[in-house]
Amino acid sequence: MRTWAVINQKGGVGKTTTTVSLAGHLCQRKRRLLLVDLDPHGSLTAYLGYDPDNLKTGIYSLFSAPVVNQAEVARLLLPTPLPDTWLFAASTALATLDRQMGTGHGKGLVVAQAIACVADKFEHGLIDCPPMLGILMINALAACDQLLIPAQTDYLSIKGLERMVHTLGMVEKSLGQSTPYLIVPTMFDRRTRASSDALARMREIYGYRVWGSVIPIDTKFRDASKAGLPLPQLMPRARGSQAYLELLEFLLGADEETRDARTETQRIA
């Protein structure tokens, strides 16, 4: 199972949209998919038809359990409108975790352990993160193989991106691990100079870490969230759908390259 986490401390940059759209394309490819909503606002959970204010089951319960237990984890899986796609839902109670536990009480691996319990059921995992640093983001970092950082192509977003990359460096140092990340330029408006300038600046600062293409601004994303379906399901030909398809293909290709490189290293060793 490969798990990608979609993170950025900045709000409203397209994290949930990226999660949902990649999920839409993955399930069209008949991949068994696990979605994990770590945002206390529960946008992903709500998108998929559940009410995060009134959920009885959710990933929150695992944080108060003494150990992450396989049977309990399996009970948390909720079906979604997408085929072969299941959800670990967020409830608003998640917002209380940082206050209850701080970051130093050994709860950084709860999500990784939960995913490990069901890893044989799924081919892919996608984690949607909250726009803040805290125990949930740390859990996401510990649970994924690849980070995706959506960044809006505007000037303010570049400052936010700097902060995010800096935070990432600090957290990874303290966790003693490093996870590859890809910056995904979002809401690109090719008619405006501001968007092109911001994109050029992103590439200048972060080079190969920035995905070679962009997610364009597309009002159809709002229609899709109103319909409770990923845009690729609702309008496969929309520009936004096509862009996320391109992103998915890039990510799957990169995964394959990593696998090939690992096999080659093992062969040589």
Ligand X SMILES: Nc1ncnc2c1ncn2[C@@H]1O[C@H](COP(=O)(O)OP(=O)(O)OP(=O)(O)O)[C@@H](O)[C@H]1O
Residues near Mg ion (CB under 5 A) are: 15-16, 43
Pick 32 or 220: Cβ nearer Mg ion: 220
Sequence-distant (≥ 6) Cβ neighbours of residue 132 within 8 angstroms: 9
Collect contacts of 259-264 with beta carbons under 8 A, ≥24 apart.
Answer: none
Pick 3 or 21: Cβ nearer ligand X: 21
Residue 45 binds to ligand X (criterion: CB under 6 A): no
Query: SS3 for 228?
Result: coil
- The residue count for binding ligand X (CB under 6 A) is 19
Q: Which of 187, 235, 247, 251 binds ligand X (CB under 6 A)?
A: 187
End-to-end CA distance of the chain: 25
Q: How many Å apart are CA 56 and CA 75, to the nearest integer?
A: 11
Pick 73 or 244: Cβ nearer Mg ion: 244
Q: Which of 58, 134, 230, 240 binds ligand X (CB under 6 A)?
A: 240
Q: How many Å apart are CA 261 and CA 220, to the nearest integer?
A: 38
In the complex, minimum distance from the CB of residue 259 to Mg ion, in angstroms, rounded to a whole number: 30
Angle between the N-to-C axes of helices 193-206 and 155-175, in degrees from 0 to 180, rounded to the nearest 10: 30
What H or E segment, with its residue span, contains residue 77? strand 77-79
Pairing outcome for strands 77-79 and 146-152: unpaired
Q: Which of 33, 214, 217, 245 binds ligand X (CB under 6 A)?
A: 217
In the complex, minimum distance from the CB of residue 225 to ligand X, in angstroms, rounded to a whole number: 5
Residue 186 binds to ligand X (criterion: CB under 6 A): yes
Q: How many Å apart are CA 227 and CA 249, to the nearest integer?
A: 25
Q: How many Å apart are CA 103 and CA 97, to the nearest integer?
A: 9
Q: Which of 4, 15, 46, 157 binds ligand X (CB under 6 A)?
A: 15
Residue 228 binds to ligand X (criterion: CB under 6 A): no
Q: How many Å apart are CA 112 and CA 107, to the nearest integer?
A: 10
Residue 26 binds to ligand X (criterion: CB under 6 A): no
Residue 233 binds to ligand X (criterion: CB under 6 A): no
Residue 13 binds to ligand X (criterion: CB under 6 A): yes
Residue 195 binds to ligand X (criterion: CB under 6 A): no
In the complex, minimum distance from the CB of residue 216 to ligand X, in angstroms, rounded to a whole number: 6
Contacting range for ligand X; rule: CB under 6 A; set: 5-13, 28-36, 112-120, 261-269? 5-13
Site for ligand X in 69-128 (CB under 6 A): none
Burial 210-220 (b: 16+ CB within 10 A, else e): bbeebbbbbee
Residues forming contacts to ligand X in the complex (CB under 6 A) are: 11-17, 39, 43, 131, 186-187, 215, 217-218, 221-222, 225, 240
